[in-house]
């Protein structure tokens, strides 16, 4: 110990080992750190949908209770998928490891874990691909960047492929368009061959399969949930709305993620839809059977995704509607835009969507026959069909977060912005490199929005939160609008941690605030039952 009169030596003061030994990544074993991974699935969820190897297990167990031939199952699974997906085959072969993607991943930026660099995340899989599927890897092994598939490797995959939100940001910057999402999807299919899903994904999948939605809301619960919102709407506007459920012969079937039916702030967005449709006198119906737009099957396997997605067209057909309108959701729209028609189409029993209010033909949806509500509403506003009072949102300074899926897997960028600019007076964009096709993920997509991995979520969402913080400081932004149900739930948590005075909302919540409805009473509050600007003084009366 140093004597009190003499300052201690600097080396004595700092006893932290700064430099982790620099080892090649293949030699760094995976370590499951608390707060970064989700619980393993309970057997009942797998049994419900007939997925293999249901059993009690935990990722921290030494024994994952895999079948004895698990290695063959994985390798056969890879071989089969190489033949089925050109993306997978190609992305295993053509990466030149230029590093352009390395610092584009929100998980790498927020965590600093090198295995979160997209190129390395993919190499986790590629190294095994080389060993068993390429001549060079078979001949030269480690020298060719190949390695054996071992249980440790399998665990490493599990850890890191559940640290990818399939957001596709890396794919924007890759000179060959290599999309880590494609590789993550394949990895997750492989996990599901062995019953290694996460509880947070498998639960919603089982719920959705049997009850029609992720939350497991039964039909009467859905209607009573919506009745709750209707009561609030009546309290705010004086208007009683009476939507219909499972009604045959309606013109339009409306499908939205079940997150909108349950849990704030999604419910406020849902109130916005209800008010809009009522004001338009739209001939539409809800369905309790197809009561989920989102698709956690998409985070399980393509087959599971297709099995869940089936309900939307099936219900549209049963009810005899003309076309389908879809609510605000991220991965739901990736699925609807790029997969639904291929899986469960052709939807030749439906008609090419036409807005009954403006007569606009939605030619961009002419085969899938499903229109995004932002497209629908933007068209209404453009044609002057809505009476809007944006000053009712004057207490809000709004910015807009592009969801990964709607921006990089669909390209709906302008419509939500157009709506926002018409329903509120204060709108500020976040910095250019953090929006549109370069948007940062909320850090909790693809079923990573569980509670037990909160640290991971906070890390992954940091780049997004950091940009929000910037507009809060520079423009006083206090509301983060988006068109995604997962965003609405998870950005709320993210803001609580990083930028506490910013709240989160759907675009149609703000529309609901601004919408001047026929016969409404003078509004005192917004949809959150908080006093409107200028009405605060009434509070104490």
Write out the binding residues for other proteins, residues 179-218 only, by CB under 8 A: 179, 182, 209-212, 218
Site residues for other proteins, 235-264, by CB under 8 A, read 245-248, 262-264
Q: How many residues does the chain have?
A: 541
Q: How far is the CB of 63 from other proteins (least distance, A)?
A: 25
Q: How far is the CB of 155 from other proteins (least distance, A)?
A: 17
- What does the alpha-carbon distance between residue 295 and residue 305 come to, in Å, rounded to a whole number? 6
The SS3 of residue 117 is: coil
When binding is defined by CB under 8 A, the residue of 55, 83, 240, 521 that contacts other proteins is 83
100 or 280, CB closer to other proteins? Answer: 100
Cα–Cα distances (Å) from 460 to 272, 310, 457, in that order, read 30, 32, 5
By the rule CB under 8 A, 288 interacts with other proteins: yes
Q: Which stretch binds other proteins (CB under 8 A): 7-15, 250-258, 384-392, 473-481?
A: 7-15
When binding is defined by CB under 8 A, the residue of 43, 155, 173, 199 that contacts other proteins is 173
Site residues for other proteins, 63-82, by CB under 8 A, read 82
346 or 476, CB closer to other proteins? Answer: 346
By the rule CB under 8 A, 136 interacts with other proteins: yes
By the rule CB under 8 A, 88 interacts with other proteins: yes
Under DSSP, the state recorded for 357 is: T
- Least Cα distance to 286 among 226, 346, 335 occurs for 226
By the rule CB under 8 A, 150 interacts with other proteins: no
Pairing mode, strands 284-286 and 323-326: unpaired
- What does the alpha-carbon distance between residue 495 and residue 213 come to, in Å, rounded to a whole number? 27
- Least Cα distance to 379 among 363, 391, 367 occurs for 363
Token pair belonging to 65: 């209770």
400, β-bridge pairs:
481
When binding is defined by CB under 8 A, the residue of 30, 102, 280, 357 that contacts other proteins is 102
- What does the alpha-carbon distance between residue 439 and residue 435 come to, in Å, rounded to a whole number? 4
- Least Cα distance to 183 among 161, 201, 198 occurs for 161
- What does the alpha-carbon distance between residue 255 and residue 373 come to, in Å, rounded to a whole number? 10
When binding is defined by CB under 8 A, the residue of 30, 75, 360, 428 that contacts other proteins is 360
Site residues for other proteins, 399-458, by CB under 8 A, read 407-415, 418, 431-434, 436-438, 451-452, 454-455, 458
Cα–Cα distances (Å) from 397 to 271, 420, 423, 424, 473, in that order, read 21, 11, 12, 8, 12
* DSSP string over 165-180: ----HHHHH-TT---H
Q: Which stretch binds other proteins (CB under 8 A): 155-163, 275-283, 343-351, 510-518?
A: 343-351
- What does the alpha-carbon distance between residue 432 and residue 418 come to, in Å, rounded to a whole number? 17
66 or 174, CB closer to other proteins? Answer: 174
Helix (H) or strand (E) holding 342: helix 341-344
By the rule CB under 8 A, 318 interacts with other proteins: yes
Q: How far is the CB of 68 from other proteins (least distance, A)?
A: 27
Q: How far is the CB of 159 from other proteins (least distance, A)?
A: 12
Q: How far is the CB of 394 from other proteins (least distance, A)?
A: 24
By the rule CB under 8 A, 168 interacts with other proteins: yes
Q: How far is the CB of 215 from other proteins (least distance, A)?
A: 8
Site residues for other proteins, 17-36, by CB under 8 A, read 18-20, 22, 25, 33, 35-36
Site residues for other proteins, 448-467, by CB under 8 A, read 451-452, 454-455, 458-459, 462-463, 466-467
Site residues for other proteins, 470-509, by CB under 8 A, read 470, 489, 493, 496-498
121 or 397, CB closer to other proteins? Answer: 121
Cα–Cα distances (Å) from 26 to 17, 30, 136, 157, in that order, read 22, 10, 18, 12
When binding is defined by CB under 8 A, the residue of 58, 60, 150, 367 that contacts other proteins is 367
Site residues for other proteins, 507-536, by CB under 8 A, read none
Token pair belonging to 202: 């498998």
Match 């910037």 to its residue by tokens. Answer: 470
By the rule CB under 8 A, 109 interacts with other proteins: yes
Instruction: List the 370-372 sheet strands across, edge first.
Output: 284-286, 252-255, 323-326, 370-372
Number of residues that bind other proteins (CB under 8 A): 150
């Amino acid at each position: 110990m140093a004597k009190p009169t003499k300052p201690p030596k600097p080396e004595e003061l700092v006893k932290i080992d700064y430099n982790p030994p620099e080892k090649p990544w293949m030699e760094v074993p995976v370590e499951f750190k608390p707060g970064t991974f989700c619980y393993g699935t309970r057997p009942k969820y797998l049994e419900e949908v007939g997925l293999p190897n249901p059993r009690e297990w935990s990722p921290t167990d030494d024994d994952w209770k895999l079948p004895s031939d698990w290695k063959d199952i994985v390798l056969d699974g890879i071989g089969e998928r190489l033949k089925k997906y050109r993306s997978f085959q190609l992305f295993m072969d053509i990466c030149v490891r230029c590093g352009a993607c390395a610092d584009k991943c929100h998980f790498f930026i927020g965590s600093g874990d090198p295995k979160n660099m997209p190129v390395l995340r993919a190499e986790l899989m590629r190294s095994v691909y080389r060993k068993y599927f390429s001549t060079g890897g078979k001949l030269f092994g480690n020298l060719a960047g190949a390695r054996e598939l071992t249980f440790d490797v399998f665990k490493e995959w599990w850890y890191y492929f559940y640290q990818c939100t399939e957001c596709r940001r890396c794919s924007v910057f890759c000179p060959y368009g290599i999309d880590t999402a494609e590789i993550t999807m394949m990895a997750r299919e492989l996990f599901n061959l062995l019953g290694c899903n996460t509880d947070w994904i498998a639960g919603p999948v089982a719920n959705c399969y049997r009850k029609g939605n992720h939350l497991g809301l039964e039909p009467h619960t859905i209607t009573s949930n919506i009745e709750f919102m209707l009561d609030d709407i009546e309290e705010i506007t004086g208007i009683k709305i009476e939507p219909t459920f499972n009604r045959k012969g309606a013109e339009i079937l409306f499908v939205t993620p079940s997150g909108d039916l349950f849990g704030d702030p999604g419910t406020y967005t849902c109130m916005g839809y209800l008010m809009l449709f009522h004001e338009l006198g739209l001939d539409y119906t809800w369905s309790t059977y197809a009561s989920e737009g989102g698709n956690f099957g998409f985070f399980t396997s393509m087959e599971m995704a297709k099995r869940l997605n089936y309900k939307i067209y099936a219900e549209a057909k049963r009810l005899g509607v003309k076309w389908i309108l879809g609510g605000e959701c991220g991965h739901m729209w990736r699925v609807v835009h790029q997969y639904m028609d291929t899986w469960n189409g052709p939807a030749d029993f439906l008609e090419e969507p036409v807005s009954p209010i403006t007569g606009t033909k939605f030619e961009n949806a002419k085969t899938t026959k499903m229109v995004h509500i932002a497209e629908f509403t933007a068209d209404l506003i453009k044609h002057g069909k809505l009476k809007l009072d944006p000053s009712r949102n004057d207490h809000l300074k709004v910015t807009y977060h592009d969801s990964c899926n709607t921006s990089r897997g669909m390209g709906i960028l302008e419509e939500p912005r157009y709506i926002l600019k018409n329903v509120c007076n204060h709108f500020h964009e976040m910095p250019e490199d953090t929006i549109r096709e370069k948007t940062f993920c909320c850090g909790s997509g693809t079923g990573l929005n569980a509670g037990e991995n909160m640290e991971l979520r906070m890390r992954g969402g940091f780049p997004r939160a950091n940009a929000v913080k910037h507009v809060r400081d520079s423009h006083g932004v206090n509301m983060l609008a988006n068109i995604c149900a997962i965003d609405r739930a998870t950005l709320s948590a993210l803001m609580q941690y990083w930028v506490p005075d910013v709240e989160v909302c759907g675009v149609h919540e703000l529309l609901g605030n601004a919408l001047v409805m026929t016969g409404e009473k003078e509004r005192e509050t917004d949809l959150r039952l908080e006093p409107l600007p200028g009405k605060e003084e009434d509070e104490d009366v």
